[in-house]
Every structure is written in structure tokens, then in C-alpha cells.
Amino acid sequence: MILAAVEEGRLEPLDAVLKTMNRAAGMADPANSLVPFDQFDRLHVARFVILEANTGSDIKAYGVTPFRWPATLVFLGDCDGSADSFLAELVVRSGAGLRQIFSHCEGAPLDQDDLLDWLKQHNKKPAANYINWIGRTVVQVREEVALQKALSAHLRKLVDEIGAEDTRALRQRLLSYLEFEKQNGRITLTPAPRTPPGWYIRNLLHKFGVPLLLLVISPALLLAAPFLALRLRMLERSDPEIAPRPDRKSVYALAELEDHDITNQFSAFGDIKPGLFRRCAVLFFLWLLDYAARHIYKRGYLTRVQTIHFARWVILDDRRRLFFASNYDGSLEAYMDDFINKVGWGLNLVFSNGVGYPLTRWLIKDGAGREQEFKYYLRRHQLPTQVWYKAYPGKTAFELGRNSRIRYGVENRPDNDREIREWLGLL
Amino acid sequence: MAGSSMNMVFDDIQGLARYAHGKLSATSFLLLDVADATAARAWLLSAPVTTAVPVSPLPETALQVAFTAAGLRALDVDDAIIEGFSDEFIVGIAADQSRSRRLGDTEGSAPGNWAWGGQAGDVPHLLLMLYAIPGKLDHWQTTVQGTDFEQAFRLRQELPTHSLGAIEPFGFVDGISQPDIDWEHKQTTNLHERDRYANLLVPGEVLLGYPNEYGRYTERPLIDPVDDPRASILPAAEDDPGVRDFGRNGSYLVLRQLHQEVPKFWQFVDREAGSDALERDRLASLMVGRQRDGTPLIPSSGDPVSNRFTFEHDPDGHQCPVGAHIRRSNPRNGDFPPGVTGLVSRLIRILGFGRNHPREDLVASTRFHRILRRGRTYGSLLTPEDAVKPGAPEEDRGLQFICLVANISRQFEFVQNAWSMNTKFAGVHDESDPLLGDRKPLVDGSATDGFAIPREEGPVHCLHGLPRFVTVRGGAYFFMPGIQALHYIAGQESVQRGAEA
Ligand code: HEM
């Protein structure tokens, strides 16, 4: 994630430049001339968003003077492969556009040669990162969409011809058709790229290292637990809840950007509660979350939620603030419904460390369950995402998973009747 | 609130929240504007508005009244009070494009094309609903309106209504499934005890001023009687007895005039059925989720049209398609998918493991998204048999769709958006509600005009090229106040009734 403070007085012109990249409110034109997203065939989603501390003065409720936060331009995306090589590619293909955009920011590079270094210097690593399906590349997504389309259409034809009863024959003819299409280059199923061994080893170390570390510190944690619990309950009783109804105009401005595609973007920004306890808590839970996302929730679901494509949590401003960005299927009302009814406890773990969050008990209870306050809190901390791009419009995370199951059936050809029926039912 | 005080509460609730007035099949729905606020208030104060107190023998007439935000303003209700309502109510159903986009009110159904309620500044002030047994309506209308009615209100429009008996214009029995309102507070809202689907719904999901399914009080206008002594005629707020509850016993009322193209519907189905009458009925019933006589497609214990079923044993939609109208409108889900029996299985599910079916968890728990339907039909009867004949007349027919809710965005808008219009509902493939869908292509150009009928044998049977059968012709969000709140709106000064305990 690249971030840079916007120069005094340059916010409006920046906003105007960002708007030229869109073809509908907030929806990037994939072929826009500044950053032609569609030229990057390993970019899943990307966004430009201006971070402003709209709720920055809430912290006064703690008797703390708000820290200054200049409007800051953020660019983030999710790509296959290494982020560094993606940045390099970005500079090559859209250097001029990026320079024009970032020229509204402090210390922006005037020179193409300095751009890559500058971007790297302004890069900020997330505290936690969630990917719906680790390892599923943009190329794979697109090939599998084409596969599903071709097979579904052909199946309809076959059913008209030979009926629906003989499922083995149907499958056989579908597979032959697929072979034919592949030979004619109309369908490609590129084998998954090999995982670089370095990545594999690092991942393995992380996978076992973190639990090991937890094991090592667990006696200390156990000893400290009563004190931590006491401290937590004290804080939970005194922390102020700040969740007034958000102003109608800003809700309107946010809603204007939503529900053009079946997937929506969400960007939110707020202050972390003052004090060591809360700062440590947010870091600790994000660390666990990042671990869970990397090793456990990497196959289509984050606990009970199957609608999130990508999400990330970034701690900013000397651990005083948290930025959250996600890409989810459905409307915001449905997203909030999932939050409240399915993963309220998980949201509470992280976000209850944010200033003004709906009151929690024992870290996981209430919070998001305070439905109205939670919805207001979320909307009030949400920021308009000026430019948002998704490489496969019209497709939900669930569908991408289903398409992968279709492909799996093609490549593994199950032999029992039930599985064949199920496979045909996917089309 | 004790059980014994039930009747006291019912006399503060408008009857429509408890009864559909089914026997009173003659109706007149009047959209009115306030012409003279003083006269309008005086008229409202003495209007014989029907309450939810049961009477025997059954009444022969009924009267209900509801207001838009503009209507409350026109009657000089303080802005601070109106601001206590939800944003959806204040802004209205048609005022912003993003809401229209979510509701599927686009193209032919866009507010700009509505016959009423679609233009900013063109929202009716109030809705007067008169009900009577056949033959009694005119007399009831004269009685209700009395002498000063013309001075008080300007009639914008009388919405067409015409009873077709138990069926709606496409020919299906309607009004079968409704949530049972839990007036006796038999059921807890405790999250830990509500894993499974139940048809009982707390009153707070229909009426303001009571705990909702989250066990919390939905936002509504509260008035401090110190600032406004007149408010002392209102009931006290249960969760804050120091203030008065303007919302208590009142309900939001969503009204949408839905035009139904009956010949278009049956001719489409007839073509798909190869003009076979039995197959035609079968396909249409798959689109609705019930047969024409109301029999559900899922075997249901009890009498044939009973309502005791869920889709638990039909996860793939082999019996009732996943995209069928009733399955979308009420997926009958619990807070957890089936199979959660104890603490351990619950924990496993909370963490997202142990899914029995890929689609599990895609659809929200139903109890937070129920609506109480109170619609009426309009237009003349056209049987399916006549509708399929070439040249069958396309006339004004449809549904004055009405539902009562306590939270417009979480209930009506959610059902309409996340369920009816959602082209990805429960993992279906690019199709919206077979009856209501707007058939608008997705951003990538994918068509959404299909309807998938999953089959046990394997391949899905897919209907293609569904046209839009239902178009929105008008609509507004109203508030149907409790009786005391109505009297407050009508300007009543002194306490005439015993204050509620
Ligand atoms: C012209 C439009 C419509 C027609 C012809 C129609 C027709 C029907 C029919 C025939 C039934 C089955 C009977 C029953 O279960 O009571 C039904 C049920 C239902 N409809 Fe509609 N409907 C229409 C619009 C709507 C809209 C706009 C909504 C809400 C957004 C809606 C929500 C429901 C619900 C909640 C049920 C009950 C489902 C259940 O609990 O099983 N309907 N409708």
C-alpha cells in the first residue's frame, strides 16, 4: 500500500484527476489513460482512496488532543506474485499517470527514474491481510470463467439433443467438446504456476513458528491473564461509545459509489484507543488474524463469511490509527448483516480497540451485536473510495470457487454417479 | 409489560398490524395531501381509526391511516421529532438513485416513470385505507369522511384496488405465509437459543417501541415531556421511562404499486411448456415455490397448504428451486445451518468449519428480515387459460404491495435487495426473482434473465429470456402511528386516556 500526504490546497485538483479515471461514480474505467488497470494481468483489485481523519476529534472523549492527520492519498491493490516486481511493472506501464496523480502529494518525484524508489519508500506493509483463495491467480480466474461459460452453454445444447438422463454420456461429450475447444485455442487451462521454493519455506516456517512462539509465551500470558482481564473489564466499563447517526450527506456520497457491480469496496479509517493495553491488543489480534488468514482461512471462507475477496488492515501514524480496506460481494446492508450475525466476535476482537466502538463485554460480546450503533459506527468511519477496480466484474467470490470446482471435475474426472451428477449440477 | 395489559396495548395499535382485514374485501386506498393543517388535524382527531382490539362479531368496516415524512411536516409535527425516524423514511423510497439501484427500481421501474411518488416534491402526505364488506364501502366512505374532509385534504389519487378473492393477478393463492407475531412473548431473542428457524417473530420487528430480534429498541422519535408537555399523552419509552415514545405501537408501512403483466407471464411460461397445460402449471409453480392453490413444493406436515416446512432437506433446490419467489422472500434459515446441536458443533460452525454444503452460510438468518404483508390486488381477473390466448388484453392489473416493518432498511429493503433482486442469491447463477426481477444485465454484460430449475438427475433445467413481468408504478414509505401518537399528531392537548403503565 502506497501512501503520501496530499499537499495543502491540492485536494480538490487531486479529486478531479482521480475522477477522470472513472466511468461511473467510483468505478474505474479499466482502460483509463492514467493507470490502465486492464493491462496488468495479475492485478485482482485496486483502489485510490484519500484518507481524511473525519472522526479524528472523537479521541477528545479521552481528554487527548487529536493528532494532526493531513489528507493522505493511498493506492493499494492485490496482485499475484511479488509486490516489488508488480511495482516495477506499474512504473513502466503507467509511470506518467502515477506521477501526475502523486504530483499532488508532498515530495512527489518529478522524474520517472525516481518513481520506483519513491513508491517503495512510501510503501506500508499491512498488519493483516486476507485473501479469499490463496494462490488463485487472475489468469486462472479468467480461464475458469471462460470454462464455465463454454461448458454451461454446451450442456444446454446437449440436453436438448440427447436429454438429461444419461449423465455419463453428457459428461463424456462435454469433455470431448472441451478437448476440441482447447485444441482450437478457444479455451486454455494454464497449470498453476509453481510456488517459488523460497516462499514455500518461509510459509512453512511461519506456519509452525507462530504457534511455537505462542507456546513459549503462553506461561507468561497465563500468568498475566487475570490482570489483563481485570484491566480489560475496567476499560470496557469506562470507554466511551461514540456512534451517532452519520450525517445524511456523507452517507449519500458513500452510497453513490456502491452497488454498481455485484462486488463493492469498503474503506474505513479511525483512531486506536489511547493507552498501551489497546495498542498491544490490536497488534496482537491482527497478528493472530494474519496468521489465520495465511494458514487457515485461505480456501474461500473467513470463518462463516464467504463473500470477501480481499481485505487488509494497516496500522498507521505511529500506531495511532487503523485503516481497513475490503472487497465484498453484495450490498453494505448485507455485509453488515454478516458482520453482526456471523463474525461479530471476530470484528470485536480487532475493532473494539478503536475509539468510539460500540460497547463490548469480555472483548467478544456485544459490540457489533449492538446493531444500530454498529451500523452507524461503520458508516461514520467509512471513507469514499475515489477509484476502485476489480479484474472480474460481475463475479462473486463464491462463483470463483464454484468455477474452480468445475475445473477440478474436468481434471480429476470422478467416476461415481453421484459425483458426476453433482458436477453437471454446477454448470 | 405484563400479559394482562395486552388489551390496553392493542387499543393503541392500528388494527392492520394484527389483522389483514381479509373479510373486508372492498377497499379504497386514498393518497391525500393536507390542504388545511388545522382542519386536517381536527378531522384526524375524530377519525374512527380501527384498533387491534378484537371485536365480536367481526367488524364490517375498518379504517387505517399512515403518513409520509412530508405529511408529518405538513401537519406541523416538529422537525426534531421527524429526525428521530430512520433515514430511509425521512429521505423516502425514490429520492436517491443508489436506493433505486438497490431496490431494482431502474429503467421501466425507475421513479421517473412512476405514476405517483416518484418525483422529488411529489410525495403524498398521507394514506387513508378504508376497508368494508362488499356493498358497504360507499356508505363507510361517506361516514368516515364526514363534513370537513374536503376542506382538510386534497385527494391526489385513489389507488385502484379490486379483490380477486384469495389469489393475486397471476393466479396464485397469496397471503398464506406470514410471520406469527409473538404477542405473548413466548420466545427469547437470546442469540444462544435461536439456532433454528421459527415463524414466531417478536412484536418489535413490526412495531416500534418494543425489543427487536436483537433484543434492542429500534430507533424512533423520543420526546422529553419537559420540553413538550403535550407529549405526555404519549406512552412512556420502555427503555427510558423519563421520555415519551412517539414511535411506540406504530409501524413503518411500505407501499409499492406493482403492475403485473399477466398475459406476458402466462404466454412466456406457455411457450416454455410447449403449450402443455400441466407442464405450464408446473413451471409456473416452480417459479413461485407453491402450486396455484397454495400447496408448497416442499412436503409440509399438516393440511395441504400449511406453512410448516423449511428448505433444510432440499439444499440443492431439487424440490423447490433455490431461486423461487417464496424461497428468496423467506429462505427459512436459522442463525446456524442445520446440524448445530451442542456447544462443540456450534463452536466449530462459528469458526467456519464443518460446512455440509458449499451454499451454507450464503444466506442471512431469516428472523432479522421478515416482513408482514398487507397488500391488495387490483385489475380484473384473467385466468391463465385465458391469458395464454393470443391477443389476451394487457390491462392494468397488479398488486398494491404493502408491508409493515420496524426497520425499513433491514427488513423490506434487505429482502428486496439481498434476496429478490440479488442475481447471486444463495449462489444462483445470474438470475433475479422470477416474478419480480428487473433482468438488468450485470456490469460485465452477463444476462440475468434466466431461471434455473435444479434437477436431481444432474443438469439444471434453465429457462432463458424471462422478460420483466412486474413493473413498479409508484411507492412511498409511510409511518402508521399508534393511536396516541395519532392523537398527538392531530394536536390533542390534554390527557384523555389513562396513561399506560
Ligand atoms: C406483483 C408482485 C408479487 C407477486 C405476484 C407475489 C406473489 C406471491 C405469492 C403467490 C406468494 C405465495 C403465497 C404465500 O406464501 O403467501 C408470495 C409470498 C411471499 N412474497 Fe410475494 N409477490 C409479489 C411481490 C412481493 C414483493 C415485492 C415482496 C417483498 C419484497 C414479496 C415478499 C413475499 C414474501 C415474504 C412471501 C412469503 C414467503 C414465505 O414466507 O414463504 N412479494 N408472493
Mutate to test the interface with A, among B444, B453, B456 (most CBs of A within 10 A): B444
Three cell numbers at A305?
A: 463469511
Indicate whether A162 and A79 sit together in one domain.
no
DSSP A130-196: EESBTT--HHHHHHHHHHHHHHHHHHHHHHHHH-SS-HHHHHHHHHHHHHHHHHTTS---PPPPPPP
Which atom belonging to ligand 1 lies closest to the Cα atom of B290?
A: 12
Distance A23 CA to ligand 1 centre (A): 36
For the record, the C-alpha cell of B159 comes out as: 389507488
The answer to whether residue A376 is domain-embedded is no
Place of cell 490490536: A282
A24 shares a domain with A94: yes
DSSP B469: -
B500 pLDDT more than 60: no
- The residue from A126, A150, A173 where one domain ends is A126
The predicted pLDDT at position B1 comes to: 38
Does the beta carbon of B422 sit less than 6 angstroms from any atom of ligand 1? no
Asked if B214 reaches chain A (Cβ–Cβ under 8 Å), the answer is yes
- pLDDT of B195 reads 84
Q: Tell me, using a 6 A CB cutoff, whether residue B328 lines ligand 1.
A: no
| B194 at interface of A, judged by CB pairs closer than 8 A | no
Distance of alpha carbon A122 from alpha carbon B470, whole angstroms: 53
Residue A187 lies in a domain: yes
Say if residue A103 is in the same domain as residue A161: no
Grid coordinates standing for B227?
A: 420540553
Residue B55 CB: number of other CB atoms within 10 A?
9
- Cβ(B260) – ligand 1 distance below 6 Å: yes
Residues A29/A34/A35/A37 CA torsion (nearest 10 deg): 30
Distance from CA of B207 to the nearest CA of A (A): 16
pLDDT tens digit string along B432-467?
A: 999 999 999 999 999 999 999 999 888 999 999 999
pLDDT band of residue B3 (cuts 50, 70, 90) is: very low
Residue B6 scores a pLDDT above 60 = no
CB contact under 8 A, B87 and A251: yes
With a 6 Å cutoff on the Cβ, whether B166 touches ligand 1 is no
Q: Answer yes or no: is pLDDT of B304 > 70.
A: no
**Position in ligand 1 atom list of the atom nearest CA B289:** 12
Would you call A329 an interface residue with chain B, using a CB distance cutoff of 8 Å?
A: yes
For residue B415, what is the DSSP state? Answer: I
CB contacts under 8 A, B 116-145 vs A, are none
Please state the ipTM of this predicted complex. 0.96
Distance, CA of B206 to CA of B194 (rounded, Å): 19
Q: What percent of chain A has pLDDT over 70?
A: 100
A58 interface with B at CB cutoff 8 Å = no
- A314 belongs to a structural domain: no
Q: Which residues of B touch A27 (CB under 8 A)?
A: 443
Pocket-testing residue among B102, B329, B374, ligand 1, by greatest number of atoms within 8 A of Cβ: B329
Cβ of residue B465 closer than 8 Å to a chain A Cβ = no
Q: Please give the Cα distance from A406 to B364 (Å, whole number).
A: 26
Which pLDDT belongs to residue B494? 57
A144-174 pLDDT, tens digit each: 999 999 999 999 999 999 998 899 999 999 9
- Position B2 scores a pLDDT of 37
pLDDT band per the 50, 70, 90 thresholds, residue B498: very low
Report how many Cβ contacts below 8 Å link chain A to chain B.
Answer: 138
Averaged over B295-322, what is the pLDDT? 88
Q: How far apart are CA B380 and CA B399, in angstroms?
A: 12
Max Cα–Cα distance, chain A, nearest Å: 76
**Separation of B32 CA from ligand 1 center, angstroms?**
27
Neighbours of A422 (CB within 10 A): 16
User: Residue B7 pLDDT > 70, yes or no?
Assistant: no
Residue B359 CA to ligand 1 center (angstroms) comes to 23
What gap in Å lies between CA B179 and CA B87, rounded to an integer? Answer: 25
Distance from CA of B381 to the nearest CA of A (A): 36
Pairing of strands A360-361, A365-366: antiparallel
Could you give the CA distance from residue A130 to residue A188 in angstroms, rounded to a whole number?
28
- A330 to chain B, any CB pair closer than 8 A? The answer is yes
Q: What type of residue sits at position A55? A: T
Whether A152 maps to a domain, the answer reads yes
CB contacts, 8 Å: A341 with chain B: 335, 364-365, 368
Q: How many CB atoms lie within 10 A of CB B46?
A: 10
Distance CA A262, CA A253 (A): 19
Q: What is the mean pLDDT of residues A244-267?
A: 97
Residue to probe by mutation, ligand 1, list B373, B411, B470, most atoms within 8 Å of CB = B373
Whether the pLDDT of residue B4 is over 60: the answer is no
Overall number of domains in chain A = 2
For the Cβ of B330 lying below 6 angstroms from any atom of ligand 1, the answer is yes
| Exposure class string for B465-490: b at 16+ Cβ within 10 A, else e | ebebbbbbbbbbbbbbbbbbbbbbbb
Chain A residues inside the 8 Å CB shell of B90: 248
Residue type, A245: R
Picking from A126, A155, A176, the residue at the C-terminal end of a domain is A126
Cβ–Cβ gap A334/B427 under 8 Å: no
Q: Check whether residue A9 and residue A89 sit in a common domain.
A: yes
Chain A within 8 Å of B429 (Cβ-Cβ)? yes
Residue among B167, B325, B330 whose CB has most ligand 1 atoms within 8 A, to mutate: B325
pLDDT at B303 over 80: no
- Evaluate whether residue A230 is within a structural domain: no
Q: Quick one: pLDDT at residue B121?
A: 79
For the segment B249-258, the average pLDDT, to the nearest whole number, is: 98
Sorted by sequence, the CB contacts under 8 Å of residue B306 that are 6+ apart come out as B296, B300
Residue B176 C-alpha cell reads as: 398464506
Q: How far apart are CA A62 and CA B403, in angstroms?
A: 44
Give the strand pairing for A27-28 and B470-480. unpaired
Q: Indicate whether A76 belongs to any domain.
A: yes
Residue B492, classified by CB atoms within 10 Å of its CB into exposed (0-12), middle (13-18) or buried (19+), is middle
Q: Is the CB of B470 under 6 A from ligand 1?
A: yes
pLDDT band at B306 (very low <50, low <70, confident <90, very high): confident
Of ligand 1's listed atoms, the one at least distance from the Cα of B172 is 10
- Residues of chain A neighbouring B361 (CB-CB closer than 8 A): 301, 304-306, 342
- pLDDT score for B305: 62
Q: Is the model's pLDDT at A196 over the cut of 90?
A: no
* Strands annotated E in A175-334: 263-271, 308-316, 321-329
Query: Do residues A54 and A10 both lie within one domain?
Result: yes
Find out whether B115 and B159 touch, Cβ atoms under 8 Å: no
Cell output for A251: 452517507
Mean pLDDT calculated for residue range B363-381: 97
- For residue B8, what pLDDT band results from cuts at 50, 70 and 90? low
Measured CA distances, B412 to A333, B172, B173, B404 (Å): 12, 22, 22, 8
Determine, yes or no, domain membership for A229: no
Say if residue B499's pLDDT is above 50.
no
Residue A236 lies in a domain: no
Q: Does B458 touch chain A (CB under 8 A)?
A: yes
Q: What is the pLDDT of residue B191?
A: 75
Cβ–Cβ < 8 Å for B200, B227: no
Lowest mean pLDDT among A111-115, A129-133, A141-145: A111-115
Q: Are the beta carbons of B418 and A398 separated by less than 8 Å?
A: no
Structural domain of A416: 138-191+397-426
Position B98 pLDDT exceeds 60: yes
CA distances from A165 to A148, A161, A380, B322, B460 (A): 21, 11, 55, 21, 12
Report the pLDDT value the prediction gives residue B497, as an integer from 0 to 100: 45
Q: Cβ separation of A303 and B429 shorter than 8 Å?
A: no
A396 to chain B: closest CA residue: B424
Q: Do A95 and A18 fall within a single domain?
A: yes
Q: B41 is written with which cell numbers? A: 388535524
B219 touching chain A per CB within 8 A: yes
Residue with CA at minimum distance from ligand 1 atom 9: B174
Closest by CA to B20, choosing from B374, B370, B372, is: B374
Long-range pairs for B53-59: beta carbons < 8 A, 24 or more residues apart? B53/B7, B53/B10, B53/B11, B54/B10, B58/B23, B59/B24
pLDDT of B5: 42
Binding site membership of B172 for ligand 1 (Cβ less than 6 Å): yes
Residue from the list B216, B429, B461 with its beta carbon closest to the beta carbon of A371: B216
The secondary structure of B373-385 as a DSSP string is E--EEES----HH
Which residues in B lie closer than 8 A to residue A421 (C-beta atoms)? Answer: 456-458
